[in-house]
Every structure is written in C-alpha cells, then in structure tokens.
Chains A and B, each alone.
Chain A
Amino acid sequence: AQKVTQAQTEISVVEKEDVTLDCVYETRDTTYYLFWYKQPPSGELVFLIRRNSFDEQNEISGRYSWNFQKSTSSFNFTITASQVVDSAVYFCALSERGGGADGLTFGKGTHLIIQP
C-alpha cells in the first residue's frame, strides 16, 4: 500500500530564512507520481509541482525548489528567502498508476509559519 510521511508537523521561521519541508513515501510500484500542494488559510489546495518516478532531476521555480531522491524515497521541498505569504499548510502526495485509478494519497501536512 502507498504511504506518505511528513514528519514535520509545524515549522516556524523568521522571514528571509530558507526552509526545507521533508516528504518520505512508500510504494511498491515502479511508476508513480509525486505532488506538492499548498493550502493557505483560505482552505483551497493550490498545485505546486508534479514529478514522475522516472524523472529525478531537481526542479527550481523562483524561490521554490524540489529534491527528488529515489534511493531514499524522498521528495523534499525548499523555500529560499521565505516570505510571510508562504505561510500555509503544505502537503506532499503520491499517486500510483493502477488501471486508471489515480487518487492521491496525502501526507498529514506541514504547517509552515513565516514570522515577519
């Protein structure tokens, strides 16, 4: 069965600090997809990134970067020079390809607090 673990329940940093959110996953499939979503206080889940299991290249998008390591089953997310607007709950999620059923399995989320 698939599982996503986000061990950090809450992280609090001061604005402009860099912060890394950890995500460890479990799956028996060789083909799978990993996602990060942001959930601000408004409650809506905002898509950040999707990565398939065959693409281990790290990705950078502005202040955001992702480190995918199959050897350790991790897909970590780093925010550089954090801003107050980054305060939210961040979820890592996993999807396997199984006959078209591709519902996401989410971790419990990491509540990120950026203090001014």
Chain B
Amino acid sequence: EAGVAQSPRYKIIEKRQSVAFWCNPISGHATLYWYQQILGQGPKLLIQFQNNGVVDDSQLPKDRFSAERLKGVDSTLKIQPAKLEDSAVYLCASSLTPGARDTQYFGPGTRLTVL
C-alpha cells in the first residue's frame, strides 16, 4: 500500500515570496492533517480536514497560511507571504477516520527554508 506522498521535498525561497506544498494521502483515508515541525521541536498541528471540510484550523496563522482539499483527496498548503520564522518541515498525515480511532500515518515532509 502506497504511503502519504508529498512534494516538493525541499524548497528555498526569499521572505515575502509565496510557496505551496502538495499532499496525497493514503488511498481511502478520509482525514488529512498538516503539521509544522520547527527544528528541534515536535510537530504542531496546523489544520485537519475530514473529506473536503475543515475540522480544526485553530492553530493555522490565517493571515498568511491557507489550505484546501477540494475533492476530498489531495490537499495543498500555501504560505503567502513567507516569513523567516516559517522555515520548518511541513508534514502531511492521513488517517482512515477521525476521532483518534485510527492511526495517523505521516509523509516524508517538505523542508522549507526562508531566506
């Protein structure tokens, strides 16, 4: 079974530029999550989708971050404009159903460097 796919794996941009990350969850997984992992810390949840609806975006900096999952499968996370403190690894995860009844499986992440 294919795992969670993410692209690109690495991205370097200048501050104030825009960037987008893509995630394809495990086939059949209804729930998709985006996490931000700053160097030396544990991942922090940014947003959770169930199918194409947002379940939790309480920790998403909505002035610059946006995310969508239009057809309930793939998802895109965008940052516009980027700041230096956005340098981190952005992890996508998916689970079969929400409510912690199923395990979250993580993709390889996208490492973003903002100069």
Q: A107 touching B42 by the CB < 8 A rule?
A: yes
Q: Does A33 lie within 8 Å of B91, measured CB to CB?
A: no
Judge whether A108 and B48 touch: CB under 8 Å.
Answer: no
Given A47-B105, A97-B100, also A103-B42 (CB < 8 A):
no
Is A43 touching B56 in the complex (CB atoms < 8 A)? no
Q: Interface readout for A87-116 with B: 1 if CB under 8 Å, 0 if not?
A: 000010101110111111111110000000
Compute how far the CA of A58 lies from the CA of B91 in the bound complex, rounded to whole angstroms: 30
A50 contacts chain B at the CB level, 8 A cutoff: yes
| Interface range for B | 20 to 34
A55 at the interface (CB under 8 A from B): no
Tally of A-B Cβ pairs under 8 angstroms: 68
B30 to chain A, nearest CB (A): 10
The reply to whether A43 and B109 contact each other, CB–CB distance below 8 Å, is yes
- Docked-complex contact A97 and B99, CB < 8 angstroms: yes
A109 to B100, CA, bound (A): 21
Contact residues in B for A107 (Cβ distance below 8 Å): 42
Nearest-CB distance from A112 to chain B (Å)?
15
- Main DSSP-derived SS at the B contact region: strand
Q: Is residue A45 contacting chain B, with contact meaning CB distance below 8 A?
A: yes
B43 to chain A: closest residue by CB: A106
Residue from the list A33, A44, A46 in contact with B100, Cβ < 8 A? A33
Bound together, the chains give a CA A44 to CA B110 distance in angstroms of: 10
Shortest CB-to-CB span from A96 to chain B, Å, is 8
* B104 on the A face (CB < 8 A): yes
Establish whether residues B42 and A91, one from each chain, have CB atoms under 8 Å apart when the complex forms.
yes
Contacts of A52 in B (CB 8 A): 100
Q: Are A102 and B106 within 8 A (Cβ)?
A: no
Q: Identify B109's interface contact among A33, A44, A96, A100, CB under 8 A.
A: A44
Given contacts A102-B48, A103-B45, A108-B40, contact A47 B56 (CB under 8 A): no
Q: Are A108 and B56 in contact (CB under 8 A)?
A: no
- In the bound assembly, the distance between CA atoms of A99 and B53 in angstroms comes to 13
Q: Mark B90-109, 1 if CB is under 8 A from A, else 0.
A: 01010100111001111111
Write the residues of chain A forming the contact surface with B, with a CB cutoff of 8 angstroms.
4, 32-33, 35, 37, 42-47, 50, 52, 91, 93, 95-97, 99-109
